[in-house]
């Protein structure tokens, strides 16, 4: 069986020495600690809690959380590096870190009041997994056609509804849940709430049996007269639309990084295997047809990586990045699927079996075009921005 190892990515002079050290540390962990467990977790459809605990210990679940709240106090770009490197070995591991940092922590850092930050950020940095609950059965790309409601009472809200496709839900203890507090106002009534797993009326439901990223949990949430204190409104009542849009724009850069890492892993497996596999008396890497396929993937990968890094740097610098984030996610997901498909082709019959890692990467790649905004929605966003 081919070992789950990856080729070194090309040298990137755009990274600082500190960023390169951080990248190396994540890569080493992924290769030594994570890689031997990937197949087992994929088949079980369950991510090991001891690995998540190590993510916390290493500071990867609270990368941007300030040190004063128990976090690593690093910037957004470090989150992108961590997601990319983990994805080269296991995209399921990467999405756990990604959702925690680019969605949950980012939303709380930007929209939370001081009391909320003091209560929840230390927990998110040290021990509790977070989840982001926006999607519903009837609101996919039209995420704000939501049916979940929030009814205001004297000192609390009562949430009623059902959320679907919620990443990290099986492990999570803190959820950012979106519900409409004024359905008559349409999207202007949407409000974000900080919901703890133990709140009355809250339940994590069925876990989905997925095609790819199987070790990453995806569950439904059941809100049956779920009681949420008023002090757990994130932002203001009716501001949920803005909270969701701005957070998801950042999250799409994370998904772009996940797809870049996946493509890097697929390319690494392809390069290694084509050097080992012999046909007609020589390694298949010596055939021009194979070389051209590898060169094409390497070129696409480099372009996707630069697009993701550019979007991340714009975000970190406080510059507009809506178009760049959409482009990065759209293109990186295209490249990941292409790279994984070519890897299966180059492995031939072996690539079609679960004894070799490229089959899993091929399954994992598909989600990149679907979650946190489908490829068509990214194209729509790009078109709107360039036509202004």
Per the prediction, the chain carries an average pLDDT of 95
- The DSSP line for 184-227 is GGGGGGEEEEEEETTSTTEEEEEEP--SSSTTS-EEEEEEEEEE
Percentage of residues in the chain having pLDDT higher than 90: 94
Average pLDDT estimate for 205-229 = 98
At 3, the pLDDT band (50, 70, 90 cuts) reads very low
Given this model, what pLDDT does residue 216 score?
Answer: 98
Strand partners, 198: none
Report which of 311, 297, 179 is spatially closest to residue 237, judged by C-alpha positions.
Answer: 179
Given this model, what pLDDT does residue 14 score?
Answer: 75
Quick check: 219 and 205 in contact, CB under 8 A? yes
Q: Which residue has the higher pLDDT, 222 or 143?
A: 222
Domains along the chain with CATH numbers: 17-128 (1.10.540.10), 131-240 (2.40.110.10), 242-386 (1.20.140.10)
User: Which of the residues are catalytic?
Assistant: 372
Report how far residue 143's alpha carbon sits from residue 136's, in angstroms, rounded to the nearest whole number: 8
What is the pTM assigned to this prediction?
A: 0.95
Given this model, what pLDDT does residue 10 score?
Answer: 45
Average pLDDT estimate for 37-48 = 98
Report how far residue 120's alpha carbon sits from residue 388's, in angstroms, rounded to the nearest whole number: 39
Quick check: 99 and 41 in contact, CB under 8 A? no
At 144, the pLDDT band (50, 70, 90 cuts) reads confident
Given this model, what pLDDT does residue 72 score?
Answer: 98
Quick: pLDDT tens for 199-208: 999 999 999 9
Report how far residue 154's alpha carbon sits from residue 230's, in angstroms, rounded to the nearest whole number: 9
At 142, the pLDDT band (50, 70, 90 cuts) reads confident
Quick check: 285 and 275 in contact, CB under 8 A? yes
Given this model, what pLDDT does residue 164 score?
Answer: 97
At 141, the pLDDT band (50, 70, 90 cuts) reads confident
CB atoms within 10 A of CB 309: 22
- Tell me the two tokens of residue 26: 């994540």
Given this model, what pLDDT does residue 158 score?
Answer: 98
Given this model, what pLDDT does residue 259 score?
Answer: 98
Given this model, what pLDDT does residue 53 score?
Answer: 98
Alpha-carbon 39 to chain mean position: 20
Given this model, what pLDDT does residue 119 score?
Answer: 98
């Amino acid at each position: 069986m081919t070992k789950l190892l990856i080729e070194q990515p090309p040298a990137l002079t755009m990274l600082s020495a500190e960023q390169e050290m951080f990248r190396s540390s994540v890569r080493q962990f992924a290769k030594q600690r994570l890689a031997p467990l990937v197949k087992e977790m994929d088949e079980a459809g369950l991510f090991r809690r001891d690995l998540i605990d190590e993510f916390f210990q290493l500071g990867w679940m609270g990368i941007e959380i300030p040190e004063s709240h128990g976090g690593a106090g690093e910037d957004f770009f470090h989150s992108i590096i961590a997601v990319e490197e983990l994805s080269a070995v296991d995209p399921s591991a990467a999405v756990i870190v990604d959702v925690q940092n680019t969605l949950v922590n980012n939303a709380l850092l930007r929209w939370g009041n001081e009391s909320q930050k003091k209560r929840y950020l230390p927990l998110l940095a040290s021990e509790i997994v977070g989840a982001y609950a926006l999607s519903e059965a009837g609101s996919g790309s039209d995420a704000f056609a939501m049916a979940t409601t929030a009814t205001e009472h004297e000192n609390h809200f009562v949430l009623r509804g059902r959320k679907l496709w919620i990443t990290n839900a099986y492990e999570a203890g803190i959820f950012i849940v979106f519900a409409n507090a004024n359905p008559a106002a349409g999207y202007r009534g949407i409000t974000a709430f900080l919901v703890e797993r133990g709140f009355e009326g809250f339940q994590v439901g069925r876990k989905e049996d997925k095609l790819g990223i199987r070790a990453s949990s995806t569950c439904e949430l059941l809100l049956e007269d779920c009681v949420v204190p008023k002090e757990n409104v994130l932002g203001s009542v009716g501001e949920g639309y803005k909270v969701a849009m701005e957070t998801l724009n950042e999250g799409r850069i994370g998904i772009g990084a996940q797809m870049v890492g996946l493509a890097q892993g697929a390319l690494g497996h392809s390069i290694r295997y084509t050097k080992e596999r012999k046909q007609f008396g020589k390694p298949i890497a010596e055939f021009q047809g194979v070389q051209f396929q590898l060169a094409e993937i390497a070129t696409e990968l480099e372009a996707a990586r630069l697009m993701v890094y550019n979007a991340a740097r714009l975000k970190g610098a406080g510059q507009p990045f809506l178009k760049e984030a959409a482009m990065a996610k759209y293109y990186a997901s295209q490249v990941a699927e292409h790279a994984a498909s070519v890897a299966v082709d180059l492995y031939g019959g072996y690539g079609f079996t679960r004894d070799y890692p490229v089959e899993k990467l091929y399954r994992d790649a598909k989600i990149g075009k679907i979650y946190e905004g489908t490829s068509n929605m990214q194209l729509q966003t790009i078109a709107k921005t360039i036509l202004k």
